[in-house]
Structure formats: structure tokens, C-alpha cells
A and B are shown apart, each in its own frame.
Chain A
């Protein structure tokens, strides 16, 4: 197994008038070749900023720091803007949520597909065109050659997202970052797009970081899962562990919130997580989840909580022992 992406203590800070907003707080993770890591969390947890930080596309005000940030062994932290631009679209590519807004309405599909390849590889326009047709067919677009002359507004949402995927694949990247790639799409199209993404990832042995709030997608697509809350990773593990034995109270709470056809009784109350996410401005004292946690005790408000490792390699950020956490997981599953 070879590591494609390694991230250690990534922080994103945004200075505001009222103080510094610590949007991403010391998160560490890695992605192997051919592996899918899902980053899951609710709005404002820092998952999207994490992906922008990796791509070097943060807003200018935001400050990125990391102890280690490497792509295929190459340190991204020390690169200047030009060197970073050589990597973006070439070694790592991004698929955004809104294919409406991330395609340029003034250029044809063919033009936009070829752009990255002409920028990064020594190819002539004909070769780029052939690669574009090949990939459009790969992502399931019929009459690919005739699509090249079309503009984004002539395509449906599902087709646009396929074009975005083809575009990300043009230079054969090692890593793809997909931020909510199917949120704007219908369920039927969502299933097709995810199916496609999973197949392409397997075929080209890419690393995939998929950012989503949808636990259904996570369960079906991920190999490993990182659950984010208030800018931190609160739990990380294999997809089986996260769903069958969630250790962190937040993960347990999230899983109880979603209705599951055939399992949750009609009209019965779903679980919920009362309270609100704490402000991310300034330093957090104690556990970020303590004010919403059903298992919180006095130490949770005063002690900084580190990630601890459970048997099997699952990591969780909680003061509860493995036995207590497993007990809570069993109770949450039957409640």
C-alpha cells in the first residue's frame, strides 16, 4: 500500500474582527492508493475548508498551517503558487458540488475539458480532444464527440456532473477531492454518479477524498471514514467500524437521526442532537461536543480531549473508555 496523501496537524485559521476563527483544528489523516476516505460532518464543521486547504484554494484571508502535507511524498506546504498550479488539475483534481457554477458558461465542454491537459501535459489539441472523447464515453455520455461543441447550459445537471468528473480525470491524477458531488442531483442520478465514481476510482487506482453530509453515501462508498465536528476529527475508522461500532457520542447521535426504511417505525420519534455547535472563534476549552453530549461529565468541560485508539485501529476523541463507549453504542443502536 502506498500513501498518496498525508496530512498532519492541518489548521485553517481565519482572522476576523471579533477574533480568530479556527475553522480546521489540527486534523490528521491519510489516503492510500485506490482508497476512498469519506469526510462526514454537518455544515460549518470545516470539511469543505479542509478540501480547499489541500488544493491551495483557500480564501486569501485564511491561513493554512500543517506539520506535514504531502502528496505522493512531495511536500505541498513549501510550494509557491506557480508550483501549486502545476499540481492542481494534474496530480490532484477537484469535483465541486455545483456543476452549474463550476463550469464556465462561455466556453464549450470540449474547450474546458482540454484546458487542463494542454496546460499540464505536452500534448497537441488533437490528443487532448481524443482523451476528452475517451473519458466522456467512460463517464457514460453517449455521442461524446458531438458533446464537445456544446455549452454547459445545453446539458442536464447529471450530464454536467459527469463532465466535471471527466474533467477531473483528464490528466490522470493520483488523488481526487470530491466535495458533495451529488448533493444537487436527484436520487436516481446520484446513484449513477456514485456508481461511476467508485468504478473509475477502482480502475485508475486513484485516492478519493469524498466530502459529504449524507451517511447513506458514506456507508456505500467509503473504505475509511473521518467524522468532523467543530473543526476537529472526532472519530476515524473503517466504514464497518464507524457504522457497526460508533464510539463517539456525536457519531452515535448522527446515526440515530436518520430514518431507515424498514427499521425506524413510522411516525416514531427520530433521535436528535439537542443544542448548537459551539462558536469556533477563539480557543475551545474541553470537549467541543460536551454541551450537546448525553454522556458528558464534569471533566469534559475542562480537559482537552485527545484522539484515543480503540482495538482495531479506530480512533475517537472522547474521555470515555472503550468499554463505556461500546456500551453506549449498543444502547444507541437499540434505542
Chain B
């Protein structure tokens, strides 16, 4: 397992935007992704969790080749992403977005929407397109009769199935699911999650699952990466992370999950202050203003990642509570 080349790897990936705060104010840098290193191996499901504004979606865009990173390396099958064209990356990595209402072209039929990647990549002859589309529709639980339908004739769950079919018709290796079920009702969410599980087994897929719903991540993911203000603060196999969350932020996230158990009351996550302004991040560890366990050193120096295990057992935590208290070059 551990010797296997990851199908996707990032090394110290950074993406900095310059933001103008006002007409006469100087532009300031905003590090949306601030040094992210992660690996995804074939067959894994990596859950990526964090609050809004932590850089999850920017990271997803970089992985899809839709956003150029400012620094750092993105390796696909062990080769730098620069050696692939946009089209090559798109054949390997495909997205499923959150909102099935805005991610489908309302003027195209379902058949056209699903077939578009085949046409763009010239992967099928004209007469092969229809059978291929019908095959993937069947796999995604969409009835044949929707082939000539338009998106507005479909329910939210059916639209999300179309988005999944469109992503999978290229037979990609990696699918990046950005909040795939958060726009859906509970009973539809479970159907889509079941579908993603079945497809993964059937087509031997690898997923990166971005979600703020930790119960969904726990149910699906084999590994979890926790993101805070542009950095990964903890990575571990799912069971390990849920059994023994080490970073105080991970702890707080897990404590905030409201499981349907009556009589437990609402937990107090102890995260006093609000999410910090990413343009003006706190000194030292960026989490220290909200951290219930903050120490003096946390205000002065940023912690370095403490890594143990490798391959599928890789785990990492970035916190002064653990291991050597050396500072990361800011």
C-alpha cells in the first residue's frame, strides 16, 4: 500500500490572492491556501473538512486545474501537473458541485449535458455517444426517459445524479465532490451517498469529499484532513481521527456535530471568538484566539507539522501541544 504512487499529491501548495480593501487602501495579500501537503491514493476517500472561508474550495479548484497555485507542487500520478494539459487533467480529475440547480445548463437536454465531456475530449464517435450516455445514466440510477428532458423537469436529487453521470462518463480516476449533498433533503441525501458508495466500488474510483457535514464524512471517508485558515491542521485515518482527535480545532468540530440523540442538549464548542479575518491572520498559531488550550508559545510561533506513519497510515497534526515545539518559518 505505502509503496504505491499517490494518484494525487500536493507539496506545500500555496495560493495567494491580492485583495483591495478600499479605494484608497493598499492591496493586501490573502493566503487562501497556505502550504498544503496531502496525498490521495487509489481507492481512498479523503474527507476535507473545515469552516467556510478556510480555503477548501480554492484547494479544490487548484486540484481541478481551474486555479493556478502561487507556489508549491501538484503531482498527478507522480508527475508534475505542468506536464499535463488542461484537457489531460480533466480526463483524470472531475468535479461534482454542490448546487445541482446552477451547475447544469438549463437550455441543454440531459443527454447533451452528460455527453458534453465526450464531445470536448473527442472520445467517442457520433453514433457511440448515445449508448455511452444511456449506460452511465443507468449506472447513476437515471431512467432512460430523461434523455431528452431539461434540468428544470428534474428534482434536486435527479439533477445531482446528472452531475455525477457527467463527471463519470470520462471514467476519471479521481472525483472531487464539493458538498455533494448539502443542497438536498435528508431522504435524497442518503440516496446520493449510497450511489457514490456503489459507484466507487464498481468503477474503482477515488474521491475527495469536501463537506461541512462531519456525519457524512465519517460515513464515507477513509481518511480525513482538517483545514483551518489555509492550512491542514490534522490528517488521519477516519477511525483514528474520530476516536482520538488531537488538534483542539478538530475536537471542537467533532463536538459541534449534532447527532440525533434526544436529551443530550446542544454542546458548547468553546470556540469563543469568530473565524479570523484571513487578510489579517493572527500571529503564531492562527487558531490560538479561539483555542481553549492556547499557551504562550502559540501566540508567538506557528507550530510545525508532526508526522507519523506513512502511506495509508499517514497522520499529521500541527499543534504546539504535541511533539517538538519548534517554530515554522512564518
Contact = CB atoms under 8 A, between A and B. Distances in A.
A259 B263 CA distance: 19
B256 A261 contact: no
Contact of A260 (B212, B215, B274): B215
B266 A194 contact: yes
B187 A156 contact: no
Nearest to A187: B256
Summarize B's interface: helix, strand, loop or mixed: loop
Given A187-B253, A264-B219, A267-B220, A240 B262 contact: yes
Interface stretch (A212-220, A299-307, A323-331): A212-220
A190 B269 CA distance: 10
Given A186-B52, A243-B262, A259-B193, A273 B187 contact: yes
A116 interface: no
Interface string A254-275: 1111111110101101111100
Interface string B47-77: 0000110000000000000000000000000
B189 interface: yes
Given A187-B256, A272-B191, A254 B262 contact: no
A17 to B, nearest CB: 18
A42 interface: yes
Contact of A219 (B216, B222, B256, B262): B262
A261 B190 contact: no
B190 A266 contact: no
Interface residues of A, number: 50
Given A186-B52, A187-B256, A219 B264 contact: yes
A46 to B, nearest CB: 14
Give the interface size bracket for B toward A.
Answer: 35 or more
Nearest to A239: B262
B258 A188 contact: no
A191 interface: yes
Interface of A: 42-43, 156-159, 186-192, 194-195, 198, 213-222, 239-240, 242-244, 253-262, 264, 266-267, 269-273, 276
A191 B197 CA distance: 29
Given A269-B194, A272-B194, A220 B268 contact: no
Given A217-B258, A219-B258, A261 B266 contact: no
Interface in B162-190: 185-187, 189-190
A214 B266 CA distance: 13
Contacts of B214: 187, 261
A267 B197 contact: yes
Given A188-B269, A190-B256, A259-B219, 12 more contacts: A43-B185, A188-B51, A191-B258, A191-B266, A195-B267, A222-B262, A257-B186, A259-B215, A261-B242, A262-B218, A267-B197, A267-B220
